[in-house]
Amino acid sequence: MNFSILLQHITYGIVTGSILLLATIGFSMVYTIKGFFNIAHAELLTAGAYLTFLFYRIMGWNFIYSAILAIILTIIIGLLIGKTLYEPMEKYGSLGLVFTSIGVAFAMNGVTEFIAGPIIKSYRMPPTKTISVAGIPLVGKREVLIVVIALLSSYFLHFLLTRTRIGKAFRAMASNTNLAMIRGINTTKITNFVWMYASAMAGLAGIMLAMITALTTDLGWRQILVILAASILGGLGSIYGAMVGCILLGIVMDVGVIIIPTAYRPTIAFAVIIIMLIIKPTGIFGGK
């Protein structure tokens, strides 16, 4: 009995972690290249989720097409914001960028709320059958799909980083931007790639989050500290670390509610931020 509850919580944790993974990859990539906490990153989750709602529920299109179009639009929004609002601010240093991103977060949240209104919405997807393992009901098919997509996209990113020119250039730029520029790497192109890839992943994460919960205008905002916690846990600036950090944090948060009251679930993430940054800011895998 107790074991089955634990197993259920671990499974939820993996699902939570998978969504978090998609949300955090972009955040971590932007931090790696631009060196600032993009607070507005979470608003892209909201944008993706609401755009899908627009196409799927209001226009009545097929869910897959709606999601793809929503992700494409999120990419455009993310790229535009990056190019027009963040890049001109770089000369003021990372603090200026953080403040700008706070302004962007508020502006985006305002626009979303203005258009969508404050009422909680839902995709109203048909319920799916729960998959049981050895008699223990674990997850629905939708949750499995989320985990599979998260795994595939992490593998895709791994492939991108290790096998393609743009991935190698990204890694070069991550370790030393100026040196990469001197060696003839087109850093503008890489930066554009990062804005686009980060936004795409954020949009995808937003859609998935809305699939298993509901659509509220603070959908993304509520995730930002958890995203921050996951990227810190895995080591800031490390993409692979962030991936592991996400799954780990997802499991810890969902298993943690067995011990602590459910209302305090997000507190686990906040505690992770505080403890890690004070004791070991390089993350659990980070060396010196």
Partner 1 sequence: MGGDILSFLAGTVALAAIYAIYTLGFNLQFGYTDLANMGYVAFFTIGAYVSVILNYSPPGPMDAYRFGFNLPIWVGVIVAAPGAALFAFLTGLPTLKIKAEYFIAVTFAFAEIVRMVVQNETWLTNGNFGFYGLSRPFKQFFSPYTYEFFFAFLMVGILIIAYLIMRRICNSPFGRVLKGIRENDMACQSLGKDVFRAKLKSYTIGAAFAGVAGSLYALYATTIVPEMFVPSVTFVAWWAVIMGGKGNNKGAILGAFIFIFVDQFTVFTQSSAAYATRLSSLRGFIMGVMLILILRFLPRGVLKEKKVIYDSKI
Residue ranges in contact with partner 1 by CB under 8 A: 36-37, 85, 88-89, 92, 94-96, 98-100, 102-114, 117-118, 217, 225, 228-229, 232, 261, 263-264, 266-267, 269-271, 273-274, 277-278, 281
Q: What angle do CA 217, 17, 98 make, to 5 degrees?
A: 55
Residue closer to partner 1 (CB basis): 64 or 263: 263
Q: Closest separation between CB of residue 206 and partner 1, Å?
A: 18
Give the pair of three-digit tokens for residue 16.
């939570």
Give the pair of three-digit tokens for residue 31.
């931090």
Please report where in the chains the tokens 């520029």 appear, as a residue: 181
Residue closer to partner 1 (CB basis): 32 or 112: 112
Q: Closest separation between CB of residue 32 and partner 1, Å?
A: 14
Q: Closest separation between CB of residue 163 and partner 1, Å?
A: 32
Residue closer to partner 1 (CB basis): 46 or 66: 46
Q: Closest separation between CB of residue 38 and partner 1, Å?
A: 12
Residue closer to partner 1 (CB basis): 37 or 195: 37
Q: Closest separation between CB of residue 209 and partner 1, Å?
A: 19
In this structure, is the dihedral angle defined by the CA atoms of residues 38, 39, 40 and 42, taken in order, positive or negative?
Answer: positive
Residue closer to partner 1 (CB basis): 167 or 266: 266
| Helix 265-279 with 224-233: angle, nearest 10 deg | 40
Q: Closest separation between CB of residue 109 and partner 1, Å?
A: 6
Residue closer to partner 1 (CB basis): 67 or 272: 272
Q: Is 215 in a helix, a strand, or coil?
A: strand
DSSP string, 105-170: HHHHHHHHHHHH-SS-B---PPP-PEEEETTEEEEEHHHHHHHHHHHHHHHHHHHHHHHSHHHHHH
| Helix 63-81 with 187-212: angle, nearest 10 deg | 140
End-to-end CA distance of the chain: 44
